[in-house]
Structure 1
Amino acid sequence: MSPDVEVLLLGTGAADGIPNPFCRCDTCADHRDRGELRTPTSVLIDDRLLIDPGPESPRQVSRYGRDLTGLLAILAGHAHSDHLDPAILMHRSWVTQSPLEVVGPEPVVAWSRQWLDGDQSAISFRSVTAGDTVDVAGYRVTVLAANHEAFGEACCYLIEDDSASVLYATDTGLLPESTLAALAGRRADLVLLEETFGPNTDKGGRHLHLATFAETVARLRGLGVVDEGTRVVAVHLAHDNSPLAQLGAELADVGAEVLADGTLITLG
């Protein structure tokens, strides 16, 4: 990493994004009226590490004036299609055979391998599990258990180097105690924490809503992961949330913020 770390929020929405084209709720109407499109959550770090590339990630990258010619690795948390569309590997193979590593839990690796056609020796795969610490594209990545399931294991990640650290935590419900223990004392400059369901508390425990989001931020603050210098950004937002102005106020109450797709965050 350079002294400044660039974290580009390619998308901040849940699987169906906001607005959902089949919906006229207040939140979808608010986004339409303001001309804002919130696409599935994906992140690009320093143009070389792509996290959770769903089916819209190639267009997300192009929309914000970037390219993936310098990409070294893909890191995926689980094998759901909004977080990993392995077709990106096939499309990449049409123009380059430069080395690329694909990292994730075993279902991610197994699904991705199916998209290789012919000689794809330039693409390597690394299966990881909670508790691992690995080097990915020059970053130290600590693999953390998520409270989620996707044809097997789902993971969150702490991504670090000597200048900055990012906690990427989606999809997950309340973090397992093993994950909180692994994070104790490990400060993050940026926390990208899912907040899928807003005020709705009856949609299961595999995603966070406002109350469990607030509980998670409080736990992270108590462990030293979050302090006054940490930015906490809500991602994986579904239209269950309030319209933007109200959501911003709700998140501010717990020391978090909501940002638009395409926001560039500089750390370091």
Structure 2
Amino acid sequence: MRVTLLGTGAADGWPNPWCEGPSCADARLRGELRRPTSALVDGVLLLDLSPAPPPVEVSLARVHTVLVTHDHPDHCAPLSLLARQWVRRSQPLAVAGPAPALEAVRPWLAPDDPVDLVPVAPGTALERSGYRVRALHAAHEVPAVLYDVTGPDGARLLYATDTGPLPEATLEATRGAAYDLVLLEETFGTVTGHGTGHLDLATFPAQLDRLTDVGAVTPGTDVVAVHLGHHNPPAAELTGVLARLGARLLADGDSVTTRCAAAVPGA
């Protein structure tokens, strides 16, 4: 399984265009932009519909399934489906997600567009061209799910954004999973007490500990922090913090090949 990070940022991206703080200033100085979080699995399975186009070297032409976590516009931006329609692609496409996300998508589809809307809720299981998908509970402000994806070769991914501290049902559902790759959100950095369905540098390590306790994260699991907001420290500092927690930081456009945990810049 090859997972390409199309975006690793929070809803406002990083740097936030309105922010002059040290974290955003550092990102601008280094010319690093983090788009809203989204990922592409093996070129065929898209996780979330970001409002930002993917890195220029990435094509979505082979995508047959889109898994939307929830209807917030940084994760469910149906303009990208309209762009697909303009190309007049005849290949069928499945868009799966919670009911509110599908209702947000529906008006953007042409009557003859070969797009199938597939409702999911926590506990839903799907089989898509050799990929096994389970929707898991998220702790968020709107109906939302996390995705457990197993590829045709048995490689296993947990896509865990947007969520606060993981529900007990999710921990139980991931017991013994021994994921090859976990993409775990870490939105608020050093800001705690934000009262949102997101994680920060206090709750992020606690979730890793909980996932480790149930065997979902093992010494062989590659943990990558995503959905990163400008409340985080500058990237160099954040890289060290995450490394001490057993996680790492990657850039938009990087890819991870599971089982060997290899990052390939520019995917």
TM-score by length of 2: 0.93
Amino acid at match of 1:160: T
CA–CA separation in structure 1 for the residues paired with 2:81 and 2:237: 39
Match of 2:263 in 1: none
* C-alpha distance after superposition, 1:80-121 (max 9, x if no partner): 11001112222211221210000011111111111112322x
> Which of residues 98, 101, 106 is equivalent to 1:113?
106
Q: Indicate if the aligned counterparts of 1:174 and 1:212 stay in contact, CA closer than 8 A.
A: yes
- In the alignment, is residue 212 of structure 1 matched against residue 203 of structure 2? yes
Q: What is the RMSD of the two structures over their aligned residues, measured on CA atoms?
A: 1.1
Q: Which blocks of at least 5 consecutive residues in structure 2 are unaligned?
A: 260-267
Superposition misfits of 4+ residues, deviation over 6 angstroms: none
TM-score by length of 1: 0.93
Match of 1:74 in 2: 66
Q: How far is the alpha carbon of 1:249 from its aligned partner?
A: 1.2
- Write the mapping of 1:66-215 to structure 2, written as runs, cut at 5 A: 66-95=58-87, 96-120=89-113, 122-150=114-142, 153-161=143-151, 162-215=153-206
Q: Secondary structure at the match of 1:148?
A: coil
Q: Indicate if the aligned counterparts of 1:192 and 1:233 stay in contact, CA closer than 8 A.
A: yes
Match of 2:213 in 1: 222
Q: How far is the alpha carbon of 1:267 from its aligned partner?
A: 1.4
- Write the mapping of 1:11-22 to structure 2, written as runs, cut at 5 A: 11-22=7-18
Match of 1:60 in 2: 54
Identical-residue share of aligned pairs (%): 49
> Which of residues 240, 246, 266 is equivalent to 1:255?
246
Q: Secondary structure at the match of 1:33?
A: helix
CA–CA separation in structure 1 for the residues paired with 2:237 and 2:58: 31
Q: Indicate if the aligned counterparts of 1:49 and 1:137 stay in contact, CA closer than 8 A.
A: no
Q: How many residues align?
A: 257
Q: Secondary structure at the match of 1:117?
A: coil
CA–CA separation in structure 2 for the residues paired with 1:176 and 1:104: 19
Q: Indicate if the aligned counterparts of 2:223 and 2:246 stay in contact, CA closer than 8 A.
A: yes
